[in-house]
Structure 1
């Protein structure tokens, strides 16, 4: 066994090795089994699984400053980290390097390893194959062997280092390393560098917030009278009402809707008998400014509660307002009048069930809380490269193969493991059956929550592509060639060399030039629309997806190998293609239709799919903004409306993005990563889970502080992801914002418990901003400039006072309700401002 000095080894490696010191990735069908089976296989696999441990240390996240030639290794923007993979024998038996391979996951591209006795091969996505050289590796009891590596970008969080590496031995089932089979990353991560942003100074808004929290507590009556989300107008009267129980009379609601409200009251500990509550739909009785969809007036008196509403939704929300005032377990609430209406028609939450599946019970708990806080759109991201999550009659392979992961490198039985699922779906697997989806729709519909299904295409489609290839092989083998090709999603002659944003090959993209792709889209849309009809639940919006159909190696952070820019990775640019660039099907289509570039194919396909959406009676098609960028405007599409989910960060031009899409006539939905991605960490603490490319820390206060109707204003309140000020000037007329939504992407949210920790209590801050416009939000004014530490237009003291009231209600009244509901929320007492300053207990 040879040990290599890491610092000198890297410099030697740079001089002697090619840019990518990995075995080139091969398509799974080209891989070979480990070796011929032997009777010793199961015994060896058992020893390895029990005794071998993989530990990881990260040495530096700015390796270029340490002399590592990151650009030569092909790192995007010349940014790389260095670290060590340590194989540790924790048992008593000697381990040799013969007859086994280790499979490990990395969300960062591993660009190189430096050990003569190991080879590393990227398979696809985050899965790598580490192979010891036969006869060269021996690990005695207690011995540790280190393999230095270079990875792209940085690894700042424990959650960056994924668990569940597994070993494969011929003749034995793949086996997860027992000591790495954990959701506690600190058990196998030896070291991380110090947090890069630990010294970020507090912003004025954070200072005022801290002063407010450390000052005099709010009067109890003021907290008791505050609704969450806040109402347009409240007028507190004399006396109190006893809300230990409630007796509802709501003739204008359906039995299911009334039962949902009674279940909510019961979950808060309220009895079925008690304070009389009556409500009717009476739009004529309301003032003009609340006589809108979802508007209502509530009158609370010691003798009972009465509600007048514009429509059934307003009546439902009026009851939820009363229940919002109730303490957990019931109690007395102030007599008062509340007049209210929603800020936006779209108040949503997106859940990624594709990367890692969420159980129906968890989704129902989410719907309960969305309903309680007046969020009305559940956007389900049902498909992606890593999984397909809804049963489609007639296409069984979608779930039989696309919804499960196993160690089948040819992917004839399943997808290969991703995102630390292990070879046996210890996390990640599952799908909604047709009956489960219909039941979920009915449950949501009774709670005034619409479900928006998203089937992502043409990018992020690998699970569907692999599944439909399995279908093709099955039918082709039976001689039914026409049917075999009916839903095939690739051009078999396409040789384009691409790497997707999350490191998949060309099968990440279905081929929009094939007839099978459009057939497939029509089949899936029709079947899901039928489920909505059977559930008697509206399908008003279809989400097309459309994002990130590109080759990441052709991005701005890369250059040709003879380039001289140290801030760009050097790669063989001549070997890289745009998606479908070498597809004969697409070449013929481009020539036939006069389309200038393959860049236009996603938007062209979106226009085609919109006709299918419209044919199924769905009025609105929605897409992530990059999926429609080559369309002239919403009139290009067949649906009545076109919504765009806007996901630029504000410091990368998100305000101008929202304005420009609005100017074209699209309905804009804010999904700003720096404020509304709930898969990002709460704080700078490296133990906090999450991706952080758009924000190093997004606590509830940051989400609460968002001014969605005047996006430039936010540049004066919060810094960019590095803690640095940035400037935004409001150019042109104001963007028309149709709505906003939170996002819970699931790459490093493997369990339902982790999901609830990440979503709650940030969901409550989302609801506050989506429903209510605060007084400290400035009106949009063209030509107004905002910059943190430079301009002083925003009333930050008013923001802090408003936060103090909101946070007091959350802590005193709403968290006990989440606890009663069995929600695994993150306690705000742990919350740290983006500066790293601990919040007062």
Structure 2
């Protein structure tokens, strides 16, 4: 979930050029006359092969350098100044006219300083730059600089994604060849230091102690008995066991579970050699009360045998995974010991955004393998958003045929327009899970004690669905089938609301909750996905509604009316802006009938409607991002037995209070704190590290590891806010009752699966550590206790540093080699100097 401010959508700024040898006959997307196909193709190829684009950012806080950010309508009057540098690397002249260049920018482009080039926002992060015919000519080796102003700032190379493309009428668009790369440093030539480099980012006392502990080189014997994640308690025995292979004698497990464990053993190199017999049974009565819960177990390792007593099949499975964690890759010695253990939370999750950029099934299976190895048990799949629809729904083929692909089709009858640096040819951003893919994935996860939670985001972040269903509507209406055309239409055709979503889309970013087609659509999609789970033998128990960010960002606090005088806010025509659905006649009718109090309440009203469909399909729990339920009184407003809230406030913006309130209302509360648990944020402050950073400029594995989820105020004593500044939290009210926590891997900056895995591993292991195990340095929650970095000293930071050192050494020496054996791409260093 990305935050309210538009600090999130990554951006490529690009440029313009064309081939002079055929310019006289050529005209672009918006010009006439049309070119013939041969000339159009030649022009496209000449420009795309020879034009090089570089981007230079000259100033971030541009208002301080004389740029009229407020007059340009920048949020909080914050803007950046830069240059697009166009260079002709070919052997013939390149001249303006007859073409349009399409560029990506998640920072809103506010102006360009070149009167002969027309700038037009298309949708989302896509802009068109069209030069007038004859406006310029670039000789071979010549350069043209086009100054621009964009909202906010550019602090990371990944803020400027690649693959601007040229389009000429009558020809297939083509990406600029020299910008067809996922290495942003190849075309970003200047990037001023940002707040990442400011003196404010000093090591905290906890980080200083961390560095000292990392400097002590531990011997393997010092962490040989340290599983990942850590266990509730352990007692060492005499000697050790030499384990080169395993023989699993676990009759209580099903064939799928045994196959999963045997596959893990093979990955770890434990399939051959002299096998150690691993026996186990479900024996809840044999366990002490504190581990006699689902997932609880006792693992006993002696010199010549291993035995597991478990509360249930999950406990038996986790006992084996703990054994596997202790065994070095390829086999080796494990201390004789007895472990008693149980999970901290019932929800130990990982969210993967497939919508912005698709993840291949093989990559998801590898993620499931790693989640299973480290006892994470819920895979939340974000299957739809503005930029993509990623699951086949029988009877609605347009969702994947159009919503699952990107190409240059301005009418969007064949596909969605390119976004996020995808280019016009699906180099990234295309793909979907077929019905059989999804069933197989659910079955694969279930065998590894992982539950798949599907999310279809609505009513906002729904553009892929809306555009696909509009194409369906046009096709069926043209065929004379009006009823079928309207059955799943998601817009009120008379709605004229002028809105801008967080990702810079118009009203088609939001399905209209007041039209009959929206409820029909939700019912259809829920029923079809529930049927897939039943076919996989893993009935769906949690449905994620989404519900976030149904707003017009131009009505936020950072803007003022055109005649406003506040130098710290952007000036825009506020009178022309609407909240979503404000001008929808069908929503206005609900207002008149008293069925809703305001248009602001429409997302929660729709959530109530969807909860009925969820319940009707036998699904016990509906989940939503917290802002999707803000107009509800509590879970009693919904039809399902349980309602789960995925909480994505940052700690410095009030997450402790949000968690307490959600818990008090009776919601099952899951922490998804961006400043700790967003794995699409950068590891470090180095500008080459990719990621969004609106909630944290650096989230390394130590930061994830240091989270104290049961006592959120404590964290204010350990880490600073996103800008390196101390903040304080005083514990107020009763302690929150948490269902659990989960990591998030939003996909905007992860165009490839390689980038995805680099961002996820090894931080996933620190996430698993905190979701499974409560450390002794986590203080109990006490109402009234105040915490602030640099002012209070309640937390045992030395204990935190020692725990981290044991974790880090165990991960680097034992677990990273196992990740490498799995084929995963891993960021190898976890030390302060490299992580």
What TM-score, normalized by structure 2, do the two folds share? 0.95
Q: Which residue number in structure 2 is paired with residue 271 of structure 1?
A: 271
DSSP-derived class of the 1:40 partner: helix
Q: Which residue number in structure 1 is paired with residue 827 of structure 2?
A: 826
Q: Which residue number in structure 2 is paired with residue 280 of structure 1?
A: 281
The 5 A counterparts of 1:41-60 are 41-60=40-59
1: CA distance, partners of 2:33 / 2:745: 41
Q: Which residue number in structure 2 is paired with residue 694 of structure 1?
A: 695
Q: Which residue number in structure 1 is paired with residue 763 of structure 2?
A: 762
Q: CA deviation at 1:32?
A: 5.0
Q: Which residue number in structure 1 is paired with residue 617 of structure 2?
A: 616
Change (3 A) 1:59 1:35: farther
Q: What is the number of residues matched between the two proteins?
A: 804
Q: CA deviation at 1:432?
A: 0.2
The 5 A counterparts of 1:774-789 are 774-789=775-790
Q: Which residue number in structure 2 is paired with residue 222 of structure 1?
A: 222
2: CA distance, partners of 1:32 / 1:403: 27
2: CA distance, partners of 1:538 / 1:552: 38
Conserved in 1, the CA contact under 8 Å of 2:622 and 2:642? yes
The 5 A counterparts of 1:225-304 are 225-272=225-272, 274-304=275-305
1: CA distance, partners of 2:363 / 2:389: 18
DSSP-derived class of the 1:337 partner: strand
Conserved in 1, the CA contact under 8 Å of 2:196 and 2:686? no
Q: Which residue number in structure 2 is paired with residue 152 of structure 1?
A: 151
- Range that drifts further, 558-567 or 345-354: 558-567
- Cα deviation 1:697-732 (Å, max 9, x = unaligned): 000000000000000000000000000000100011
Conserved in 2, the CA contact under 8 Å of 1:79 and 1:152? yes
2: CA distance, partners of 1:439 / 1:633: 35
2: CA distance, partners of 1:505 / 1:795: 50
Change (3 A) 1:338 1:34: farther
Change (3 A) 1:396 1:33: farther
DSSP-derived class of the 1:130 partner: strand
2: CA distance, partners of 1:675 / 1:88: 42
Q: Which residue number in structure 1 is paired with residue 601 of structure 2?
A: 600
2: CA distance, partners of 1:403 / 1:490: 20
1: CA distance, partners of 2:338 / 2:595: 63
Conserved in 2, the CA contact under 8 Å of 1:450 and 1:538? no
Gap runs ≥5 in structure 1: 1-30, 833-837
Conserved in 2, the CA contact under 8 Å of 1:34 and 1:169? no
1: CA distance, partners of 2:170 / 2:506: 29
Q: Which residue number in structure 1 is paired with residue 25 of structure 2?
A: none
Q: CA deviation at 1:222?
A: 2.7
- The answer to whether the aligner puts 1:388 opposite 2:389 as a matched pair is yes
DSSP-derived class of the 1:500 partner: coil
1: CA distance, partners of 2:692 / 2:420: 13
Change (3 A) 1:35 1:698: farther
Pick one of 35, 41, 45 that aligns with 1:37: 35
The 5 A counterparts of 1:41-440 are 41-198=40-197, 199=199, 200-215=201-216, 217-272=217-272, 274-440=275-441
- Cα deviation 1:130-169 (Å, max 9, x = unaligned): 0111111111101111111111111100000010000011
1: CA distance, partners of 2:161 / 2:218: 44
DSSP-derived class of the 1:271 partner: coil
- Range that drifts further, 187-196 or 335-344: 187-196
Q: CA deviation at 1:476?
A: 0.6
Aligned Cα root-mean-square deviation (Å)? 1.2
DSSP-derived class of the 1:533 partner: helix
2: CA distance, partners of 1:790 / 1:77: 31
2: CA distance, partners of 1:635 / 1:707: 30
The 5 A counterparts of 1:742-753 are 742-753=743-754
Conserved in 2, the CA contact under 8 Å of 1:34 and 1:101? no
Conserved in 2, the CA contact under 8 Å of 1:84 and 1:149? yes
DSSP-derived class of the 2:439 partner: helix
What TM-score, normalized by structure 1, do the two folds share? 0.95
1: CA distance, partners of 2:265 / 2:116: 64
- Cα deviation 1:264-313 (Å, max 9, x = unaligned): 01100012551000011000000000000100000000111000000000
- Structure 1: 4+ residue segments shifted above 6 A: none
DSSP-derived class of the 1:807 partner: helix
The 5 A counterparts of 1:571-650 are 571-650=572-651
- Range that drifts further, 765-774 or 36-45: 36-45
Conserved in 1, the CA contact under 8 Å of 2:707 and 2:770? yes
Q: CA deviation at 1:34?
A: 7.2
Q: Which residue number in structure 2 is paired with residue 539 of structure 1?
A: 540
